Amino acid sequence: MNAIIVSGLLGVIMMFSGIVLKNRSAITNLAAIGLLLLLIANILGTYGICTISINTHNMLRFEKFGMFFNSIAFAATLLYVLLSGRDLERTGVNTGEYYALIFFVLCGVSILSSFNGLLMLFLGIEILSIPLYILTGADKRNLRSNEASLKYFLMGSFSTGIMLMGITLIYGATGYFDLGHSPVVPSTGEQRATFLEVAGILLLFASMCFKVSAAPFHFWTPDVYDGAPSVFTSFMATVVKASGFIAFVRLFDRHGNELGPGPTWSLLLGFVIIATLLVGNITAVFQQSVKRMLAYSSIAQAGFMLFALYGNNDLAKEGILLYSVAYCLATIGIFAILIRMNDYTFDGFNGLAKTQPVLAITNTVFLLSLAGIPLTAGFFAKYYMLASAVKAGASLWLVIVAVIFAAVSVYYYFRVIQAMYFKDGDPATAPIGTGFKAMLILMAALIILFGIFPSMVLGAFYF
Amino acid sequence: MSVTEILFFFLSALAVFSAVMVLVSKSPVHSVLWLIAVFFAISGHYVLLNAQFLAIVNLIVYAGAIMVLFLFVIMLMNLNAETEPQKHMWMKLAGVISGGCLLIILVSMVRQAVDLPGKTALMKEGNIGLIGNLGKALFSDYVVPFEITSVLFLSAMVGAVVIGKKE
């Protein structure tokens, strides 16, 4: 409860900060302090040291898994603000309001990590989405930003409608705003979902796939990620996406297996995973703009994260946490560098190693982590995902296909590295300060540290 | 057949017919007007279910406020048949296939639901829809979602200001 209340309050504070503070960098500093407070409040809540306790009438269920993810999300947002806060100030005139919306998104994140029942899931998804529609259109003079915002809003509302339809059908079938209340078959004594409920779950599944941009519901992702101001794309592609997966995993966590015939669900999920990996990786190969390539690569990464849903066991839970850490760190870092580049194409990175060696080397670490090369956090993240699927009895071909696509992804990540190190050019960048470089080095160091000792993340989870 | 049953079937037929007309009307303004008819029919259903408060809210919010906004937007955009973009053949085909799949699922859902034909809605019974009971439920069992909705509205309001404000 700490996280939900504190993030909501901080959102209100940031809303008024624009009136009191005229200096934009002061607003950024305030937001960073707020995020630190939020992180501390959540950690205190996780260990039960100081908890705001409210009778939630079983609407929210606070578990270690969700609260630990809150910490990851808040820490990632803190790093994001420290790295890209200066760029956020330049995006529009409403800096305070943008931070307020980011805090509201974090409120949605903490609801999604603790919802118990579909009603709170719906509220969490909406609180997560609505601020994003606005942040996408923050660059009001840019037509592409407007288009992306409108597209995201229309498609997002449509998928929300589908989710509501699914929830309605589930309620109509069982009388509960929750999964796992299927009627018991008298002859066998097992719970067995009725067709009404299965149809509802299918619709719910489709709309959740939309929110995490899994194929075949991914069509909005490239346009929205490409059109939105890069600062907000960075936030959307990392914290928001990871929390969508946490909600997805928690939704099917305990009840995934009692929903009727098991093989059918894994077949459906297997199809979605393969389609997501295929679309994301193959299309990313043909992109000319690094930003658009990252949008497609985020679809491809979503394909890997879906393995947590497929696995649906303890290993999958550990894996999705590790994946969130690795993916958030690497993507926030890459976007922070990308924002400072004047040219977003691959050629824009030509010769970066000569002019900005620190940026080039840290960017290389981030890209290697996304590709899943050993000694980076991304490797163990991918390993845990596949291991959980194997443990859950996935057929070997699914894992082999995933590994092949991971190899494909190396191609387009290495194109950036190749441009930075082996091509000549004079890349124009915005001025880069020492603090920015230090933050990048810190993040790269964290990635390597977690790549060598993934138990540091998981140890903190079980501590 | 009692009066309520006749009313029920009349309202259902009206709702379905109006909903189909929303889709097939060429003019967007006509679509909106038919949509208002759908809302009225559904409000009638709420009254039959003894949920007067919900019926009134549905009329005020949806048929009143939201549909007026719809009409304003359509008139401001000045839509007509000429400005309507031509839809691609493949898009239409994809729409038919995916919509048809959903139709198959929903139809088979109704057919396979064993206990559904035996049940009809509880008409003139139940009092959860009355405003007093609704308020009690909202402020006891559902107080947490009710309060958390305020964050949703706050973020929507902040967003409206951010988008509408002059730079």
Looking at the structure of chain B, the number of domains it has is 2
Instruction: Give residue B150's domain range.
Output: 130-167
Indicate whether B137 and B124 sit together in one domain: no
Indicate whether B104 and B156 sit together in one domain: no
Disruptive mutation site among B144, B149, B161 for chain A (greatest number of A CBs within 10 Å): B144
Distances (CA, A) of B94 to A239, B87, B98: 33, 11, 6
Cβ-based contacts of B105 with chain A (< 8 Å): 199, 202
- Minimum distance, in Å, between the CA of residue A131 and any CA atom of chain B: 6
Indicate whether B24 and B104 sit together in one domain: yes
Cβ–Cβ contact A57 with B under 8 A: yes
Distances (CA, A) of A51 to A2, A40, A122: 6, 12, 25
Indicate whether B134 and B68 sit together in one domain: no
Q: How many CB pairs under 8 A join A and B?
A: 90
Cβ-based contacts of B113 with chain A (< 8 Å): 173, 194-196
Whether A169 is covered by a domain: the verdict is no
Whether A390 is covered by a domain: the verdict is yes
In terms of phi and psi (left: phi > 0; alpha: psi -120 to 50; beta: otherwise), the region of B140 is alpha
> Are A176 and A156 within 8 A, CB to CB?
no
Whether A165 is covered by a domain: the verdict is no
Indicate whether B36 and B112 sit together in one domain: yes
Indicate whether B81 and B49 sit together in one domain: yes
B-facing residues of A in 87-146 (CB < 8 A) are 92-94, 97-98, 100-101, 104, 107-108, 111, 119-120, 123, 126-127, 130-131, 133-134, 137-138, 140-141
Task: Report how far residue A303's alpha carbon sits from residue A320's, in angstroms, rounded to the nearest whole number.
Answer: 12
Whether A173 is covered by a domain: the verdict is no
- Give, for all 463 residues of chain A, the pLDDT tens digit: 889 999 999 999 999 998 888 888 999 999 999 999 999 999 999 888 888 888 888 888 888 899 999 999 999 999 999 999 988 988 878 899 999 999 999 999 999 999 988 999 999 999 999 999 999 998 888 899 999 999 999 999 999 999 999 999 888 888 888 887 777 777 776 777 778 888 888 899 999 999 999 988 999 999 999 999 999 999 999 999 999 999 999 888 766 555 544 557 788 888 999 999 999 999 999 999 999 999 999 999 999 999 988 888 888 889 999 999 999 999 999 999 999 988 888 888 888 888 889 999 999 999 999 999 999 999 999 999 999 988 887 778 899 999 999 999 999 999 999 999 998 888 888 888 899 999 999 999 999 999 999 888 888 888 7
Whether A338 is covered by a domain: the verdict is yes
CATH number of the domain where residue B95 is located: 1.20.120.1200
Indicate whether B149 and B105 sit together in one domain: no
Whether A104 is covered by a domain: the verdict is no
Looking at the structure of chain A, the number of domains it has is 1
Indicate whether B138 and B114 sit together in one domain: no
- Minimum distance, in Å, between the CA of residue B136 and any CA atom of chain A: 14
Task: Report how far residue B150's alpha carbon sits from residue B157's, in angstroms, rounded to the nearest whole number.
Answer: 10
Instruction: Give residue A302's domain range.
Output: 261-463
**Residues belonging to chain B with any Cβ–Cβ distance to chain A shorter than 8 Å:** 105-106, 108-109, 112-114, 116, 140-145, 148-149, 151-152, 154-156, 158-159, 161-163, 165, 167
Indicate whether B116 and B36 sit together in one domain: yes
Task: Report how far residue A55's alpha carbon sits from residue B69's, in angstroms, rounded to the nearest whole number.
Answer: 39
SS3 A184: strand
Cβ-based contacts of B143 with chain A (< 8 Å): 57
Indicate whether B42 and B15 sit together in one domain: yes
Q: What is the pTM of this model?
A: 0.93
Indicate whether B166 and B99 sit together in one domain: no
> Are A307 and A316 within 8 A, CB to CB?
yes
Whether A438 is covered by a domain: the verdict is yes
Whether A73 is covered by a domain: the verdict is no
- Res A396: pLDDT: 86
Indicate whether B121 and B158 sit together in one domain: no
